[in-house]
Structure 1
Amino acid sequence: MKKTILIPTDFSDNAYSAAIYAANLAAEKKWALHIYHTYTSSSATFSPEELTEELANSELLKADQLILEFAEKLATQFPTVSIAHTCERGLLTEYLPKFARQEQFALIVMGTKGKTANHSVLVGSNTYSITEKSPIPVLAIPLGYETPTVKEVGLLTNFKDEELTVLHDFTGLFGNSYRLNLLHVKDTSVSSMEVDDRLDLWKYSIEKNENFTDLEVAVYPLIKEFEALDTVPEVINELITTLSLDLLLVTKTRKTFFNKLFNKSVSKELSLKLIIPTFFSKTN
């Protein structure tokens, strides 16, 4: 069965930019697309200013009309890509994970911001909520990224087995013909020798399990006194910029590997501050 990318949308510019990214990826890999939208009673109807005589006599809801226009616009730009769509009433964070359980869906690609904080269903916190519930991997795309580039990939690591899972999921979809950078943010209370030893062993384990031949290690000390880099996400974003990464892999856990330092979810923080496309592992 052909792999299909599931694209949730709220019809914002960011959602369309993410859809372009997904369509380029689908065209490259000969996959299909499925656009998905959920609506509420308040968002389903046309305003008086929008209501024409033709619409007044139609059974189409506003959401139905918008998703048709969205799909047709995308199909015009990507005529070789098979595109389907679904529009249903409900909350995105509740309905999308259930809808994603269908066999053909391999990946969710979604934007990280939407129309406004009051009207969008794709703001950062909801992107994070989807990554927490989704039975398939989620690729979150910041505005401005429309062409998939996978040459320099970063994997946040703290030597957990879940990291092998997210890497396995990613390589299953994207292969392994890229440089993998292991990113470790080191607590200054831990000795450099101990970290180096663990990184060597972890690097060997990844090379053995995923057959990588191009793998680098980057360690960044977390110095809390640095006001410009005072949170883990800011340190990670600094690493992303320094290493010119194209894509970041994030392992979701209830207690992240930085919880002892900040008692926060790093994956949630990153979903609110993404600066490059970020791949989140599926929920078990």
Structure 2
Amino acid sequence: MDKRILIPTDFSKNALNAARYAIDLYAKVHCEFYFLNIFRLENYTTNTLILPEPGSAEYETAKVASEEGFVKFLDILKLHQDNPRHRYHTISTVNFLSEAMEQTINNKDIDLVVMGTQGATGAKGVIFGSNTVNAMEKIRQCPVMAIPEKVRFMEPKEIVFPTNFLTGYKRKLLNYMLEIAKMHSSSIRVVYVTKSETISDEQEQNKQLLQDILEYVDHSFHMLSEKKVAEGLTSFVESRDSDMIAFINKKHFLFNSIFSKPLVKEIGYDAKIPILALNAP
């Protein structure tokens, strides 16, 4: 069965880099890639209630510019890698990004969203732009993977999975991480950052469930005694030169406590590895 991957793009270097990473990550898999570009209308503002209709001069001019951007974008990607397992599709729309992404995910039965951490107008010093943060917080139908601008693809040999063992694990939700691990013979390192050296009976039970789910991939469990999750996770990743972070993103829970903007600033300006948000309802 084909993997269906959505990649929003504004034709920036960061978006191009994210696309290249996704293409290489799934090089051995039959994939349908859907590239989504939101084109802008110069005279339209958020105060305008009515969008120009398709067929109007302004609309058609902006759409043509988007389509021309895709021609250049795809030419660069095909020079990078022309994989017979992959097929590319382009979508140009004037919709808001969040709504366009939701529609595409639903209409195309998307399995994964891959996006750069910054767009063409990204502010220096900020790793995760608002579009990436919003996608990780709001998209619940599928995982979202964020690719930092300076990342160049290397097979992920080690995936770090931070958790607190306070939630029951669903095999279906973790399958996205397991697929990547199996494709690239990756090891999964489960990291629990805690002030206490003991865990409750409930946590022990959840840990055992997780161990059962990870049975067929190389994995290990690590307990770090740190005051802050950000510091413990960062030191672990840097000391081991890990290749990816994957985490369960329960709505209004883990994202805010582990991958909020303040944490991203703590990790540092030079983020070096992709982050996979396994979005749970």
TM-score (norm 2): 0.77
Which of 205, 211, 220 pairs up with 1:207?
A: 211
> 2:157: which partner in 1?
151
Most deviating of 19-28 and 170-179? 170-179
Which of 258, 261, 267 pairs up with 1:266?
A: 258
> 1:256: which partner in 2?
253
SS in 2 for 1:237: helix
CA separation in 1, counterparts of 2:43 and 2:80?
27
String of CA shifts for 1:181-227, please: whole Å, max 9, x gaps.
111111x3x3x1337x776544432221342452222222233xxxx
- 1:7-46 paired onto structure 2 within 5 Å: 7-42=7-42
The 1:233–1:124 alpha-carbon spacing in structure 2 relative to 1, beyond 3 Å, is farther
How many aligned positions are there?
253
Letter of the structure 2 residue corresponding to residue 69 of structure 1? K
Q: Contact 1:3–1:31 (CA<8 Å) still a contact in 2?
A: yes
> 1:102: which partner in 2?
107
The 1:271–1:250 alpha-carbon spacing in structure 2 relative to 1, beyond 3 Å, is farther
Does 2:117 match 1:112?
yes
CA separation in 1, counterparts of 2:217 and 2:274?
23
Which of 51, 76, 81 pairs up with 1:78?
A: 81
TM-score (norm 1): 0.76
Most deviating of 165-174 and 90-99? 165-174
Letter of the structure 1 residue corresponding to residue 82 of structure 2? P
Q: Contact 2:161–2:190 (CA<8 Å) still a contact in 1?
A: yes
> 2:234: which partner in 1?
237
> 1:183: which partner in 2?
191
List runs of 5+ in structure 1 lacking aligned partners. 45-55, 224-230, 259-263
Most deviating of 73-82 and 237-246? 73-82
CA separation in 1, counterparts of 2:88 and 2:264?
27
Q: Contact 1:152–1:180 (CA<8 Å) still a contact in 2?
A: yes
SS in 1 for 2:222: strand
CA separation in 2, counterparts of 1:141 and 1:21?
8
CA separation in 1, counterparts of 2:163 and 2:145?
18
Q: Contact 1:4–1:105 (CA<8 Å) still a contact in 2?
A: yes
Does 2:168 match 1:161?
yes
CA separation in 2, counterparts of 1:156 and 1:271?
15
RMSD after superposition: 3.1
Q: Contact 1:40–1:91 (CA<8 Å) still a contact in 2?
A: no
Identity of aligned residues (%): 23
In the TM superposition, what is the alpha-carbon distance from 1:168 to its structure 2 partner? Answer: 2.8
CA separation in 2, counterparts of 1:138 and 1:7?
10
The 1:116–1:95 alpha-carbon spacing in structure 2 relative to 1, beyond 3 Å, is same
